[in-house]
Structure 1
Amino acid sequence: MATRHISNYASSYRPRRRSRQRALIVTAGALALAGVGWTFLAPGPGVQGLTDGAVLDGRKAAQVSVYLNAKDAGSPDKVRVTFNGARVPVTAEGARLKVALPRLAEGKHSLVVEGDSSLPFASYREVVDFTVDATAPDLKVTDPEVKDAAGPVTIAGKAATDAQVTVDGKKVSVDKAGAFKITVPKGTPLVTVTAVDRAGNTTTKAVSARGRRPMIRAAHITAIGWGNDTLRGNILALVRSGKLNAVQLDVKDEDGEVGYASQVPLARQIGAAKGYYDARKAIAEIHAAGAQVIGRIVAFRDHKLAAAAWKSGKRDQIVLTPAGEPYGGGQYGALSFTNFANPTVRKYNQDLAVEASQLGFDDILYDYVRRPDGPLAQMRFPGIGSATPEQSITSFVADTRTAMRPHAKYLGVSVFGIAATRPTEIAQDIAALVKVSDYIAPMVYPSHWGPGEYGVANPDTAPYAIVQRSLADFARQTKGTQTEVVPWLQDFSMGSTYGPAQVADQIKGAAANKMNSFILWNAGARYQGAALQQIAAR
């Protein structure tokens, strides 16, 4: 209700007490004739559309309309309306007068309506104080520390002090500083935290209640390789023997081919959906063997999409040279790298990640989530604007994590070993990426390091030393976060011969940094089980 300041005279006015009413009017008149300047405040025309003390959000503020009762206010020239001290126009609309308010900005406001009452020697003054609050409330939720995947999980955070907080629809108590805490039942994969302020503004955050990625020991296999009975059988045998607990199966490979019959429109349009394996059947078989399934998506190295984009004139989907030609990327050839700054390219990879999550893949692991090798001056990324390549890559990963959250799957990012100390060389900023992913997968293959790296004369012949020293940098950059480090280790020979001892040395080098997870790479999917120990806790 509008604030109405009414004198004893006005409050004494009742139809049943006419004699007293007349007496008071005479008294008022006598006082006026005697030179006493008293004016009585009477009921006003009533402010409609706004209430005193109201708090409006942006939508309500944009739509608010304020009226006065014309019968009580009289004609527009007999009423004076001010908004924050400035006079505002009033126009007649039938039985009402409309107050022409300016655009309501964020903050506190005051509307004052004044005029002469129809009662003798009386006036009215109505004040409506209200607030416009179009800003969503602050809401911060801490990633939960999950020590027991089968136990309850505590969700904690801090919200604006005037906000009401709910967790999965249940109201949560908030202290004077805005802090809150609630325990959710075991097995809850995703929690939705919502803060609503007095104006109705809402902030919502989806939080994974699964915590850190549990230990995984996996081996890579391609989509075509999965169709080979021998290769598939050997990997599943390692799982059944307790030496592996995950299989990394390609979703989209280095050529841009999608291994299963994807229903993502762009994949079908460019002929990328190959159907080499039945995704649901493959996932069920791996789960039945006792392992989880990591779906690897080669993001921006994508010949299929690059060739289709170039052919259709969509050059902004490709990494270009300053002259506008496709950037070859050296060893990869022309039409190899798509443009990570392009919305269509980004959405295509994110759509595949969501689809794979829906099909049952337990993790999505991005690979080639970077710019091409080579001097930055020799390449252009149409549409990148003022962002750096590192920022664009990080925002792409963050957007994918948001898109995947309803499906509660883990998101990993494969990165170069050099990214820990040289992030701009391939646009992988580890300090930023750990904030938007569940795990980082550094490719620290000994054969890929140059002589003298980390003080190791010949890294290819010193697998323990190079893996232990290079991963120490990743341990430092992920310290204090919920992000795991799951290194890629080599189970192949490239220069030096790698047998079980060399593979085992890499595993020990990772363990020296308290990294017990790993993914083994062998392009032909032939792994040396003798290098692997039984997993203690499965």
Structure 2
Amino acid sequence: MQTSPPGAGRRRSFVQVLGRRRLAILAVMLVVVGCAGLAAFAFRSVPPQIRVAGLENGGVLNGAETKNGRLELVAQGGTSLDGLTVSLDGEPAKTRRDGDRLLVETPGLDDGAHELTVAADGNLGLTQTTRRSFTVDTTAPRLTIEKAQAESLRAPATIRGHVEGARTVTVGGAEVKVGDDGAFSHRLAEPAPEVEVRAVDEGGNETAENATVLVPYPDTRAVHITAIGWTSKALRDPILKMAEEGRINAVQLDIKDEDGEIGYDSQVPLARKIGAAKGYYDAKKALRELHERDVRVVGRIVAFRDPILARASWKSGARERVVQDANGAPYGGGGHYGKLSFTNFANEEVREYNMDLAVEAAELGFDDILYDYVRRPDGRMSSFTFPGLGDRKPTERIASFMAETRERVRPEGAFLGACVFGVAATRPTEIAQDIPAMAEHSDYIAPMVYPSHWAAGEYGVSNPNADPYKIVKRSLADFEKQAKGSGAVIVPWLQDFSLGVAYGDDEVAAQVKAARDNGMDSFILWNAGARYHAGGLTPRR
């Protein structure tokens, strides 16, 4: 029989007594603090009730959501934000109070799983904790898009591409089906020149790119004529005869010229307000007369050289529309354009005015809108002030002007071109004509490669004016390189006037051949008086 060791009874009695004393103390506490005190005691024994703003437990933070580098904690259920200890992935986190939120600094979180721990001191020295798990995913979907092609501006086009890691893909705002291999396609009934394709993954990361829709620019062999010139039977009839003989298939007819005059009765409000709409010719009648002969009509808009708009703007106090010199006076035109000749390409009202004219002309039925003087004045940038330009580059604003215009005239069925200086291929900043940038937003680039305008020795040609084939061929090769990959074609302006050297059929034919030897079948002949050497052009049927 086992017996208890000496003193065992006394120790048992002591424990029993101590237990009874604890119960007695607890009973006294209940009496003293009452039920409310007990409730407070119990409340302080539960984990802190915390919500992470914008993030559910087990949720995902994407690239955009991690850029601010912090999480926002919001107290719930009566939990106080005071005295909380926060850890991120087991390491103490830096916090700061911001009103009813506790901001947790989270700089440089890596992609993957993370855990946020929030601790608060409880009763009897106990620590209560709440844990929230989340995942960081900053990797956006990978998106590749093929350049689409349509047969005409009114024909449908199909956007095709491939995506990796996306939950949804939209083309022009419409959600499209993505195959198991990541391939997708979407047919556009009437495509814009650029269509946004957007891919979004499970975490909300986005990748957006513009799909380019290319429409082959038609073969265009044109001659220039002014608005007043078109009203002259003596000038108009020989041009129509050239079209009937198949020597040309297009006419470049001025919409707005170097004086700022609009050839037809434009209904654009600003044009009418400043007296620019002259109504020299009936646009609908002229277009019908040419289209009935299967002749395309290229409408030329002299954009930023506009004395009528410049004078009206300066007089009315809208001086931000005008190019100014370094002292804030109107730009003097370098002595050959005249004062108040250049409007400000950076001004939204000036840009809108020209785009309104472009859209109106496209709606009337002009096949092309061809901007001329789509540039800044030539000279040192320090000589000018362009209100509203800010820290943006002139080349960027000119290119964006082309982009905005094409978005507006393409739905009306018109192509968009830009006249550029011959030197722009190698010296883009001289007049803010960046050929690759402009080509991205144009259907064609029209370089003025007139032999008489080149200095001796350019492109290794000792006397360019006397050697039209060589200077045109070499200079156009540079433009072809600059526009490569953009989808834009080169439609050169060729010289049919005499300046220092007499030009006739042979000189015109030499330039046409030089363009063709560069793979360029389209061209526009320039003669200010609209009198052309038809014999320099081979009839085509």
Q: Equivalent residue for 2:134? A: 129
Q: 1:154 to 1:229 in 2, by over 3 A?
A: same
Equivalence map 1:178-327=2 (5 Å): 180=183, 182=185, 184=187, 188=191, 192-198=195-201, 207-325=211-329, 326-327=331-332
Q: How far apart are 1:138 and its partner, in Å? A: 7.4
Q: Which amino acid aligns with 2:414?
A: K
Q: 1:128 to 1:272 in 2, by over 3 A?
A: farther
SS at match of 1:425: coil
Stretch deviating more after TM superposition (276-285 or 304-313):
276-285
How many residues were matched structurally?
481
Structure 2: tracts of 5 or more residues without a match = 1-44
Q: How many angstroms apart in 1 are the aligned matches of 2:141 and 2:269?
A: 37
Q: How many angstroms apart in 2 are the aligned matches of 1:416 and 1:45?
A: 69
Q: Which amino acid aligns with 2:357?
A: L
Q: How many angstroms apart in 2 are the aligned matches of 1:471 and 1:188?
A: 30
Equivalent of 1:501, from 475, 498, 506?
506
Any conservation in 2 of the 1:491–1:521 contact (CA below 8 Å)? yes
Equivalent of 2:464, from 454, 459, 467?
459
Any conservation in 1 of the 2:86–2:118 contact (CA below 8 Å)? yes
The reply on whether 1:517 has 2:507 as its aligned counterpart is no
SS at match of 2:519: coil
Q: 1:101 to 1:237 in 2, by over 3 A?
A: farther
Equivalent of 1:486, from 482, 491, 504?
491
Q: How many angstroms apart in 1 are the aligned matches of 2:209 and 2:241?
A: 41
The reply on whether 1:370 has 2:369 as its aligned counterpart is no
Any conservation in 2 of the 1:467–1:506 contact (CA below 8 Å)? yes
Equivalence map 1:54-453=2 (5 Å): 54=59, 70=77, 76=80, 85=93, 125=130, 127=132, 129=134, 141-144=145-148, 155-157=159-161, 161-162=165-166, 164-168=168-172, 169=174, 171-173=176-178, 180=183, 182=185, 184=187, 188=191, 192-198=195-201, 207-325=211-329, 326-407=331-412, 409-453=414-458
Larger radius of gyration, structure 1 or 2? Answer: 2
Q: How many angstroms apart in 2 are the aligned matches of 1:506 and 1:90?
A: 73
Deviations 1:318-344 (A, max 9, x none): 222333333222221111112223333
Q: Which amino acid aligns with 2:307?
A: H
Structure 1: tracts of 5 or more residues without a match = 1-40, 92-97
Q: How far apart are 1:368 and its partner, in Å? A: 1.0
Q: How many angstroms apart in 2 are the aligned matches of 1:336 and 1:201?
A: 49
Q: How many angstroms apart in 1 are the aligned matches of 2:270 and 2:154?
A: 39
Any conservation in 2 of the 1:80–1:87 contact (CA below 8 Å)? no
Q: How far apart are 1:405 and its partner, in Å? A: 4.8
Q: How many angstroms apart in 1 are the aligned matches of 2:473 and 2:242?
A: 25
Q: How far apart are 1:401 and its partner, in Å? A: 3.4
SS at match of 1:341: coil
Q: 1:397 to 1:152 in 2, by over 3 A?
A: closer
Q: Which amino acid aligns with 1:462?
A: D
Q: How far apart are 1:442 and its partner, in Å? A: 0.8
Q: How far apart are 1:533 and its partner, in Å? A: 2.2
Deviations 1:254-291 (A, max 9, x none): 01112233333322222212233343443343333213
Q: Which amino acid aligns with 1:246?
A: A
Q: Which amino acid aligns with 1:287?
A: H
TM-score (normalised: structure 2): 0.73
Q: How many angstroms apart in 1 are the aligned matches of 2:333 and 2:98?
A: 68
Q: How many angstroms apart in 2 are the aligned matches of 1:150 and 1:507?
A: 30
Equivalent of 2:474, from 466, 469, 475?
469
Q: Which amino acid aligns with 2:528?
A: A
Q: 1:202 to 1:262 in 2, by over 3 A?
A: farther
Q: 1:315 to 1:440 in 2, by over 3 A?
A: same
Any conservation in 2 of the 1:346–1:396 contact (CA below 8 Å)? yes
TM-score (normalised: structure 1): 0.73
Q: How far apart are 1:163 and its partner, in Å? A: 5.4
Q: Equivalent residue for 2:18? A: none
Q: 1:455 to 1:115 in 2, by over 3 A?
A: closer
SS at match of 2:292: helix
Deviations 1:459-498 (A, max 9, x none): 3332222211221221232234322111001222333333
Name the % identity: 48
Q: Which amino acid aligns with 1:321?
A: D
Q: Which amino acid aligns with 2:420?
A: V
Any conservation in 2 of the 1:250–1:296 contact (CA below 8 Å)? yes
Deviations 1:102-130 (A, max 9, x none): 8999978866677899xxx9978462636
Q: How many angstroms apart in 1 are the aligned matches of 2:418 and 2:154?
A: 26
Any conservation in 1 of the 2:141–2:205 contact (CA below 8 Å)? yes
Q: Which amino acid aligns with 2:301?
A: I
Aligned Cα root-mean-square deviation (Å): 4.3
Q: 1:256 to 1:83 in 2, by over 3 A?
A: farther
Q: How many angstroms apart in 2 are the aligned matches of 1:78 and 1:100?
A: 9
Equivalent of 1:526, from 521, 525, 531?
531
Q: How many angstroms apart in 2 are the aligned matches of 1:82 and 1:281?
A: 78
Q: How far apart are 1:506 and its partner, in Å? A: 1.0
SS at match of 1:297: strand
Q: 1:428 to 1:193 in 2, by over 3 A?
A: closer
Q: How far apart are 1:296 and its partner, in Å? A: 1.1
Deviations 1:365-424 (A, max 9, x none): 111122223454443333433444434433433343344454463221111112223333
Q: How far apart are 1:171 and its partner, in Å? A: 0.8
Stretch deviating more after TM superposition (451-460 or 301-310):
451-460
Q: Which amino acid aligns with 2:305?
A: R
